Structure 1
Amino acid sequence: MVLVHGIGMSSRYFRNLSRRLRGHRRVVCVDLPGHGGLRRPGRDVDVAAMARGLAVVLERTDAAGCVVVGHSMGAQWVVETALIAPDLVARVVAIGPVTDDAHRTVPAQAAALAMDSLREPPRVNAVVFSDYVRCGIRWYLTQLRHMMAYPLEGRVARLSQPLLVLRGARDPIAGTRWCRALAASARDGRFVEIPGAAHVAQATRTDAVAAQLLALVPAER
């Protein structure tokens, strides 16, 4: 399983989930360029370019046939990776995918993010906002432009792999109607809601998210 963070974030908020999964599956956590304290590229990197980089990572880590799991904007990156390199990706999981068609302006996204911060525990907010600082406002805004423009519904409809859409039941960023519609857009899509969770469901309801992921593929020997 390959875990891919969202905009401005790093693999830090996957720590509990990766520990929970590692007893049963091989797990690869990815920090993308400009995130997690990594050097920012000297050029613009759109969703397709980031996905091509992810495909290289999958090849070099011998992760062919993997489940790619993306949170928030990470859902865009993993969907595009699955389209670019279908032989490497067996299944796609989108946790709290963006951009909800009810929040397709920057002010609307900012308001939803602010609302979510009130629903997350302090430990999660500490990771989120410290990662935003490490990412930096310039790179964040560069990626935000690509996030807002990416046509996720249309790209999901092209997937040959099964898609699982996970949403925290209290998530103000990825709404129920949007997530259901996204799953319905896929050829083989399924929607699951995680009770009690907001946007960062993998950090606050780790066992519930892990159970959904572990059910996707048989256990490795």
Structure 2
Amino acid sequence: MRFPLGRWSRKDVRLHRAEVEANGLKGRLLWADGTPPPGKQAAGNPAGPAYVLIHGIGVSHRYLRRLHCELAAAPTYALDLPGFAGRPKPGRQLSAADYGAFIAQALKASGIDSYILVGHSMGVQFAIEAALYAPERALQLVLMGPVVDSRHRSVLRQGLALFLDAMLRENASSNWIVFTDYLRCGPRWYFTEVPVMMGYPTELRLAGINVPVLVLRGNHDQVAGPEWCIRLAQAVPQGSFVEIPRAGHVVQHLRPQQVADAIRSFAGAASR
């Protein structure tokens, strides 16, 4: 499935923030006007499940902000995870399962009891683990630019794919956000978590998911190739695949309206 091109034109919205903690780990939850603050989500979720945006390694909610704005007509939250985005560094390496447990527990403590997890890059791994941790609350999954592609199973190959994507497929604003977030994360924590990302068995863990899954990529993504993404979509009983034209790995920043349209279309079809 392909979606037409368009320019990002939605007026930016203000994001509110609150600190969240689970299992001794500290992160941050963000939401826009119109989304219930933590602890005040209406019982029964009459507006439907919330979107929860999950960033990848080294970065933060900032490269998801445009997508957040596009989705904000419905309850939408974003997370800054422990060790990233200036959040306190844990005293040990965290597995993807550790991050998944943190996400699920932090959302539960915030009164967010049903949601659609939207992960990007390594955030796909975190989203899968959060869904496995709390399957009764994660109703659908959206996996954007999933890593690690079977073509890039070494750090060198993965690093080269990221470099080529940044140089050839991203724009100046997305690169600025990503690189400045890398600086905020710092090399020590980034390289602490790289082996976790590289060793994560995405296909094996995804096989345990029993809810609808959308795998989404920019059609010029150097990091998550089409064969890999199609294979992931086929690894679950209710999987689908979407490509967004003329976008690279950080597709949600360059084409937020098209990504939001694809997510809303998937969520509506899956709920029916």
Contact 2:214-2:266 within 8 A present in 1 as well: no
Q: Which runs of structure 2 are paired with 1:202-221 in the superposition (5 Å)?
A: 202-218=252-268
For structure 2, the 5+ residue unaligned runs are: 1-50
Q: Which residue of 2 aligns with 1:33?
A: 82
Write 1 or 2 for the structure with the bigger share of strand: 2
Contact 2:140-2:267 within 8 A present in 1 as well: no
Distance in 1, Cα, partners of 2:161 & 2:123:
17
Q: Does 1:153 align with 2:208?
A: no
TM superposition shift of 1:215: 1.9
Question: Matched residue of 1:139: which SS?
Answer: helix
Q: Which residue of 2 aligns with 1:22?
A: 72
Q: Which runs of structure 2 are paired with 1:157-172 in the superposition (5 Å)?
A: 157-172=207-222
Q: Which residue of 2 aligns with 1:91?
A: 140
TM superposition shift of 1:65: 2.0
String of CA shifts for 1:152-204, please: whole Å, max 9, x gaps: 00111110111100000000000000000010011211010010110000000
Contact 2:219-2:243 within 8 A present in 1 as well: yes
Q: TM-score, normalised by structure 2?
A: 0.78
Question: Share of identical aligned residues, percent?
Answer: 43
Contact 1:58-1:88 within 8 A present in 2 as well: no
Select 2:151's aligned residue among 89, 99, 102: 102
* Large movers: runs of 4+ above 3 Å: none
Q: Which runs of structure 2 are paired with 1:19-168 in the superposition (5 Å)?
A: 19-23=69-73, 25-118=74-167, 119-168=169-218
TM superposition shift of 1:134: 0.6
Question: Matched residue of 1:153: which SS?
Answer: helix
TM superposition shift of 1:42: 1.1
TM superposition shift of 1:15: 1.0
Contact 2:115-2:139 within 8 A present in 1 as well: yes
Select 1:9's aligned residue among 59, 63, 76: 59
TM superposition shift of 1:213: 1.4
Distance in 2, Cα, partners of 1:121 & 1:184:
31
Rg larger in 1 or in 2?
A: 2
Select 1:179's aligned residue among 224, 229, 232: 229
TM superposition shift of 1:136: 0.8
Amino acid at match of 2:250: V
Write 1 or 2 for the structure with the bigger share of helix: 1
String of CA shifts for 1:45-93, please: whole Å, max 9, x gaps: 1111111100112202222221000000000000011011101100001
